[in-house]
């Protein structure tokens, strides 16, 4: 075994984390995938598995180490145990890279152009797609998310979506590395010209695509985004609940809210209220919070209880807007414990007064005749179907979150980048309200209009007010979804397998 290649794989995996926020060295995505391909292209199936595994471990060990914060700070584990469990999760997630690129090697037919420019990018996307649904899913650190900051590719986002952007980025990396190789061998002039031509077409095509408005403005509201900055342990105490309720009353009584000139919505974060609200008494709750004659409305995170006494993490429309949305995808080591029987023997997770939360079933748009809010709670915004299912009806997106679980490390920045991509993917404004940051207003191109930084220790309420343009219509991606691209992915693997089978038969 070539251990130097294992180390190189680990290094390249670690390096690609720098392409994501908060580092934002997106140009690395034009280099790393191609360099990784060079590592495995002439290797055996067995070596490819191990090189790919170490590549994945480099990504996950550095890219999601922020999970350690929730295990130690809120789980009561020691720093050593917390670090070990985080690396154990990274070791498990690395299998997705190992399996996908091993499959790539198994169906490689040694037609280098097909292998490098279609099959390898398809294998990369396969490793991302599998993470979206296997073992409850962990759709994080998709390479396509870096394109929201990539000035050369942003126009393709509403057309291709996240899997398409991942494929395009890896393809560009392959072409770029091929171009560099051909520069050293001037006898390959045809390949040199072709590589250069393709890259020029891709980059020049970006500008006119950026100028296309796939959605149109149909109105405007004023959004007030609130960030309470209350530590999660205090939040689940009576003192924290009293502080939140006092802040709500204070926010509603402020003078600017008494003289509204346009519809205004206050956006509160995930589980703003920790007291239980009965779902069959939502109307009573609404009336107790706001005057129905006011122009004002609120979207508030709260715990809701069903008739069968199941507790859901919900968003509730209050005032002149109505509707309820339940969280579907819970956060591993944030809201549920994977393999809880094993981990509960090691440490007392959630060692504070917090109830057991279950996935809900309500999926209503929140709003009225003017405002149609499609919602996602916390990290479930990383799941594409959350907004795709309502893309025809919605005109504004909302992400309520509580990134306090993950401290001030990379997690909140990566989370915000995903939210920005969703806004660009649908070309609709996205409001993001979080408990301790990063809260933001994101425009329809995925750019931040205004934000509140992570303020985990300040313990002071922060907010801002900005105009939001309501956008109707659908982008090409929102209209067709991810299925057409996944179908193309299957076709690429199928063709490669057929070509390999025929080649192997010819040697018999």
pLDDT of residue 120: 94
pLDDT of residue 72: 81
pLDDT of residue 293: 42
Q: Per-residue pLDDT for the chain (508 aa), expressed as one digit of tens each?
A: 678 999 999 999 999 999 999 999 999 999 999 999 999 988 999 999 999 999 999 999 999 998 888 778 766 778 888 889 899 999 999 999 999 999 999 988 766 677 778 899 999 999 999 999 887 788 999 999 999 999 999 999 999 999 999 999 999 999 998 888 766 665 566 677 788 888 999 999 999 999 999 999 999 999 999 998 887 777 777 777 777 777 777 777 665 555 567 888 999 999 888 777 776 666 666 666 555 444 568 898 888 887 777 788 889 888 888 888 999 887 765 566 655 555 555 555 555 556 677 777 778 899 888 899 999 999 899 999 999 988 999 999 999 998 887 778 898 999 999 999 999 999 999 999 998 889 999 999 999 999 998 876 566 788 899 999 999 999 999 999 998 889 999 999 888 888 777 766 554 5
The answer for residues whose C-beta is within 8 angstroms of residue 294's C-beta and 6 or more apart is 319, 320
User: Contact at 8 Å (CB) between 28 and 19?
Assistant: yes
The answer for residues whose C-beta is within 8 angstroms of residue 457's C-beta and 6 or more apart is 231
pLDDT of residue 279: 65
How many residues can be counted in the chain? 508
The answer for residues whose C-beta is within 8 angstroms of residue 416's C-beta and 6 or more apart is 21, 432, 438, 440, 451
pLDDT of residue 498: 84
DSSP strand pairing (462-472 vs 448-452): unpaired
What domains, with CATH codes, occur in the chain? 3-212+482-506 (no CATH), 216-329+358-474 (3.60.110.10)
Six token digits for residue 478: 């929102």
Q: List b or e across 399-411, with b for residues whose CB sees 16 or more CB atoms inside 10 angstroms.
A: bbbbbbbbbbbbb
User: Contact at 8 Å (CB) between 270 and 301?
Assistant: yes
pLDDT of residue 292: 44
- How distant, in Å, are the alpha carbons of 143, 164, 356, 506 from that of 20? 8, 17, 33, 45
């Amino acid at each position: 075994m070539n251990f130097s290649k294992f180390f190189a794989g680990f290094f390249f995996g670690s390096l690609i984390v720098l392409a994501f926020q908060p580092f934002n060295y997106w140009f690395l995505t034009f280099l790393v995938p191609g360099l990784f391909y060079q590592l495995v292209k002439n290797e055996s199936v067995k070596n490819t598995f191990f090189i790919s595994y170490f590549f994945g471990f480099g990504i996950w060990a550095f890219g999601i180490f922020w999970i350690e914060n929730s295990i130690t700070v809120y789980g009561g584990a020691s720093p050593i145990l917390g670090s070990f469990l985080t690396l154990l999760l990274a070791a498990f997630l690395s299998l997705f890279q190992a399996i996908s690129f091993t499959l790539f090697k198994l169906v490689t037919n040694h037609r280098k152009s097909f292998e490098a420019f279609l099959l390898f990018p398809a294998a990369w996307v396969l490793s991302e797609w599998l993470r979206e649904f296997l073992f409850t899913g962990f759709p994080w650190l998709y390479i396509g998310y870096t394109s929201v900051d990539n000035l050369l590719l942003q126009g393709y986002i509403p057309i291709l979506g996240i899997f398409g952007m991942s494929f395009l980025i890896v393809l560009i990396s392959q072409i770029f590395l091929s171009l560099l190789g051909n520069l050293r061998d001037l006898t390959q002039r045809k390949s040199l010209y072709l590589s250069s031509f393709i890259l020029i077409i891709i980059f020049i095509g970006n500008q006119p695509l950026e100028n296309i408005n796939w959605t149109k403005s149909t109105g405007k509201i004023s959004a007030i985004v609130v960030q309470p900055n209350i530590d999660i342990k205090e939040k689940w105490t009576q003192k924290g609940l009293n502080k939140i309720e006092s802040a709500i009353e204070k926010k509603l009584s402020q003078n600017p809210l008494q003289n509204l000139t346009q519809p205004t919505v206050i956006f509160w974060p995930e589980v703003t209220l920790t007291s239980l609200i009965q779902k069959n008494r939502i109307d009573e709750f609404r009336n107790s919070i706001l005057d129905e004659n006011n122009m004002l409305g609120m979207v508030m995170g709260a715990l809701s209880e069903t008739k069968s006494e199941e507790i859901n993490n919900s968003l509730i429309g209050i005032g002149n807007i109505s509707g309820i949305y339940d969280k579907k995808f819970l956060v591993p080591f944030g809201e549920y414990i994977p393999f809880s029987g094993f981990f509960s023997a090691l440490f007392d997770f959630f060692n504070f007064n917090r109830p057991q939360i279950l996935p809900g079933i309500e999926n209503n748009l929140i709003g009225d005749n003017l405002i149609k809010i499609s919602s996602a709670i916390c990290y479930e915004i990383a799941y594409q179907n959350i907004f795709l299912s309502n893309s025809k009806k919605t005109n504004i997106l909302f992400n309520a979150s509580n990134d306090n679980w993950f401290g001030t490390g990379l997690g909140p920045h990566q989370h915000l980048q995903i939210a920005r991509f969703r806004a660009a993917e649908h070309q609709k404004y996205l409001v993001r309200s979080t408990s301790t940051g990063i809260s933001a207003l994101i425009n329809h191109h995925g750019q931040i209009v205004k934000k509140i930084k992570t303020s985990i220790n300040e313990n002071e309420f922060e907010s801002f007010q900005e105009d939001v343009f309501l956008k109707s219509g659908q982008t090409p991606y929102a209209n067709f979804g991810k299925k057409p691209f996944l179908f193309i992915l299957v076709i690429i693997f199928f063709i490669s397998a057929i070509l390999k089978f025929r080649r192997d038969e010819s040697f018999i």
